[in-house]
Amino acid sequence: WVLFTIRVGIRVQEHAKAAEGRMATIATERLGALGNFVSAIRAIKYFAWEPEFLQLLCERRSAECQMLRQRTRWTALAIGIGKVTPVTGSVATFVAYALLGNPIRASTIFA
């Protein structure tokens, strides 16, 4: 059981890392667009293109936040699995010990 939960935890962390990579790519695109916005601010103001550029930046930020939420969920799941693994491993051990017909005593468990 413990090996299974460790393997699941590793897989979940791989998903979290992949989401982090996608988020970094999206963040780089957003920062590039923001850099273009800042460097061309005079032309943007002159032609009154602020709403278009603001919409572009908002769309990119929304995509970045979506990836951030996804990465956070995967990371939280991995942390939860990591915290639950020792407890469930102990419970599985005690249940297996009892199912084998052995009496469960505190002296045996905490020995």
pTM of the model: 0.73
Query: From the DSSP assignment, how many helices (H) and strands (E) are in the chain?
Result: 4, 0
pLDDT digits (tens, 9 = 90+) for 45-74: 888 888 998 898 899 999 999 999 999 999
The C-alpha angle with vertex 75 and arms to 66 and 9, in degrees rounded to 5, equals: 135
CA distance 69 to 80: 16
Residue-level pLDDT, tens digit, the chain, 111 residues: 778 888 998 999 999 999 999 999 999 998 998 898 888 888 888 888 889 988 988 999 999 999 999 999 999 999 998 898 888 888 888 899 999 998 888 887 787
